[in-house]
Amino acid sequence: MDAPVIDPRTPTLSEVTPSALGALGVDGFVDTLGFGRRSRICVLLIDGLGWELLETHAADAPVLAELRRKPLRVGYPSTTVAGLAAIGTGVSSGEHGMVGYSFEVPEVGVLNALRWCRHPGGEDLRDVVSPEDLQPRPTTFALAAEAGVAATVVSSVQFADTALTRAVLSGGDYVGVHALGDLAAAVSTALRERNGFCYAYHGDLDFMGHVYGPGSPQWRLQLRQVDRLVESLVENLPQDAALAVVADHGMVALDDTVVDADAEPALLEGVRALAGEVRARHVYAVDGAVDDVFAAWSETLGERAWVLRRQDAVERGWFGPVAEYVLPRIGDIVVAARGRSGVLRRRREPLESGLVGQHGSLTREEQLVPLAVAERD
């Protein structure tokens, strides 16, 4: 079974903020995505809004569907931690190092990067793993501010001082919001009162997709609310401004081909740690067991997943260029689900394993997201 090789010519999510800063005239950045010269730009990230989902349900999002748009590839793994880091740093997961929902940190163990705790469900690790040390690159927001460009981050008030925010979204002025109304108001205020760069995040569509499935009635009704948000922002765009709507990943609904690793002894033999998520697993082997672990996962999963050794995944460009300090965070074996399958852990990860919608892998449904642009000259 041939595993995908990443085409470096496809525009990526990690190009969005560098392109925005290039359009704003910040030295050292190039507008590769064609925003055009602007004095103010907002990037709105809608968590879970895949390109193919938007194409299929365009009738539920008429404003978004009418905007000038093209697909972007989010990179591997196609998950929120990696996607937010791509926006916040302007590089792919192999360089920013946020290589999954959870991954092993040498001398620490498996970190749940979304909650910054020992995975699954262990103690808080903020005093053990510094966000600034784990992700040492300067953020695009910090670089904008250093260049004298106002940078604003608009997101939920509950994320204002989380470790993940510190790791990948620091450096700008954080505006905490509670709902769609004040998110729209905060973005409009930032664009109206300050020339510069604004980033905003909305996560409810992803939540609906996880719980009820992408394309479900609940998901489609939430998409309609997202479209109203976009409509409000477009209506209030000031002169010489652009709004770019993107996403961190798409989503698929699982089917009955899933495998429960906790119920398959062959998948745990020789494994010292299992991380990632249902559709994108990092498998860390005990010393001397990599070949046996690789064989067991390949045989057990068969056509349900691409199973690669770490170096093979790196050479195929899954993580983009990989920094030396990031390499140990990637599993000895990397497992990317195919079709609608996945690797659950019903005993160790009951919450994650109970979700209908999942993402993380290399399928078009998960990888491609829209770049939809509205402009006012």
- Tens digits of per-residue pLDDT, 74-103? 999 999 999 999 999 999 999 999 999 999
Question: In angstroms, rounded to a whole number, what is the distance separating the alpha carbons of residues 362 and 353?
Answer: 19
Enter the pTM of the model. Answer: 0.97
Same domain, 354 and 367: no
**CA–CA separation, 326 vs 355, rounded Å?**
29
* Contacts of residue 287, Cβ cutoff 8 Å, sequence gap at least 6: none
Any idea what the Cα angle at residue 53 is, between residues 340 and 70, rounded to 5°? 120
Question: Both 217 and 88 in a single domain?
Answer: yes
Q: State residue 93's pLDDT score.
A: 98
In this prediction, residue 1 carries a pLDDT of 59
- 328 and 217 within one domain: no
In a domain, 5, yes or no: no
Q: Are 200 and 345 found together in one domain?
A: no
Q: Are residues 120 and 48 in the same domain?
A: yes
Put the strands of the sheet holding 271-277 in their side by side order: 271-277, 280-285, 333-337, 305-309
Residues 299, 217 within the same domain:
no
Residues 158 and 242 grouped into a single domain: yes
Sign (positive or negative) of CA dihedral 24, 30, 36, 41: negative
Is 2 part of any domain?
no
Is the domain of 42 the same as that of 103? yes
The pLDDT value given to residue 180: 93
Residues comprising the chain, all counted: 377
Is residue 107 domain-resident? yes
Say how far apart CA 332 and CA 370 lie, in whole Å: 32
Low-confidence ranges of the chain (pLDDT < 70): 1
Q: Is residue 6 part of a domain?
A: no
Q: How many domains does the chain have?
A: 2
56 with 17, same domain: the answer is yes
Domain assignment present for residue 151? The answer is: yes
Question: Same domain, yes or no, for 214 and 267?
Answer: no
Domain span at 185? 13-252+362-376
Whole-number Å distance between alpha carbons of 77 and 281: 9
